[in-house]
Amino acid sequence: MGMLLAFAPFIAFAALHHFVGATEGLIAGAATSMALLLRDWATPGRSPKILEIGTAILFVALTLYSIFGNPAWSIVGVRLCVDLGLLLIVLASIALRQPFTLQYAREQTPAEVWSSPEFVRTNYVITGVWGLAFVVFVIADLLLLYAPSLPPRVGILATVAAFVAAIKFTGWYPERMKARQAK
């Protein structure tokens, strides 16, 4: 659940950018991400995570650019920036050898399994699946941006399908790995 809550800034952004405007959506995403960081800093036993820190930096930077740079970008263009930023955060977590799911998984598992190869590999696989989902987001945004004749629902359906698939995989895969190890 904690990992899914980390996507709240993106949900706040998505909910507002379409109905109110890009800058307002970015402000909502920035405020939500900052609230999550404050919660992690203020709650004993919690610490800010790579995804949440990266999300805060992304939304604050895009908000400042939107306010002070006064860009002429479309809703799809803003979504592309946000989704590309999210993909880069995930890829950076892998490059730093700290797949973003690892920090969430450690909150739910005993410390003695944290260094096991299976635990670490499981988190690389799950992070990779999320990375693939974000690639789908970016491709959907690019299609909508450069093929405006496509109905917007195509991009929305692709994004929702990728997000739901990643959520389902995140719940299924660790259980599969536990069952496999129990044999």
| DSSP string for residues in 8-48 | HHHHHHHHHHHHT-HHHHHHHHHHHHHHHHHHHHHSTT---
Phi-psi region of 8 (alpha: psi -120 to 50; beta: other; left: phi over 0): alpha
Identify the pLDDT of residue 11: 87
Identify the pLDDT of residue 83: 94
pLDDT level of residue 2 (50, 70, 90 thresholds): low
Identify the pLDDT of residue 35: 95
- On the question of pLDDT at 170 being above 70, the answer is yes
Identify the pLDDT of residue 179: 82
Percent of the chain with pLDDT over 90: 69
Please say whether the beta carbons of 126 and 170 come within 8 A: yes
Identify the pLDDT of residue 60: 97
Domain count along the chain: 1
Q: Which tokens sit at 181?
A: 């190890």
Q: Average pLDDT for residues 90-113, to the nearest whole number?
A: 93
Structural domain for 58, as ranges: 2-182
pLDDT level of residue 1 (50, 70, 90 thresholds): low
- On the question of pLDDT at 135 being above 90, the answer is yes
pTM of the model: 0.89
